Amino acid sequence: MFFRRKQKIDLDTQFKELYKETNKITADAGNELDFTIKYSQLMLACRKYDQLLQLIDQGAHFDKAYFASLKESVEKEAKRVKGLIDED
């Protein structure tokens, strides 16, 4: 019989990779001129922040309050952009 070794998931490394991806999405949203695309990117970034917060809950060693505040900031920007879209 073959047994697979359980590989320990390095939550901190996984967190860092996801955070890089989230930063790129947020930066792209900041440079986007089309409000509909900008809103979509910001909402995607919010979902990524949720994933980051889950990793912290699972044991990644990062400051949860800091990343929660970053998510809140992105949510506020998304609401602002949504308001601009709704005005049109």
Q: Tell whether the model's pLDDT for residue 40 goes beyond 80.
A: yes
Q: What are phi and psi of 4, to 5 degrees?
A: -90, 135
pLDDT value for 7: 47
Please tell me the pTM assigned to this model: 0.86
Cβ-proximal residues to 67 (8 Å cutoff; 6+ apart), any chain? 49, 52, 53, 56
* Better-predicted residue by pLDDT, 4 or 69: 69
Please tell me the chain's helix, strand, coil percentages from 3-state DSSP, rounded to the nearest 5.
80, 0, 20
Nearest CA to 39 out of 87, 88, 72, 79 is that of: 79
> Tens digit of pLDDT for each residue in 59-88?
999 999 999 999 999 999 999 999 999 986
d(CA 8, CA 19): 20
Task: Name the maximum alpha-carbon separation found in the chain.
Answer: 64
Q: Report the chain's mean pLDDT, rounded to a whole number.
A: 91
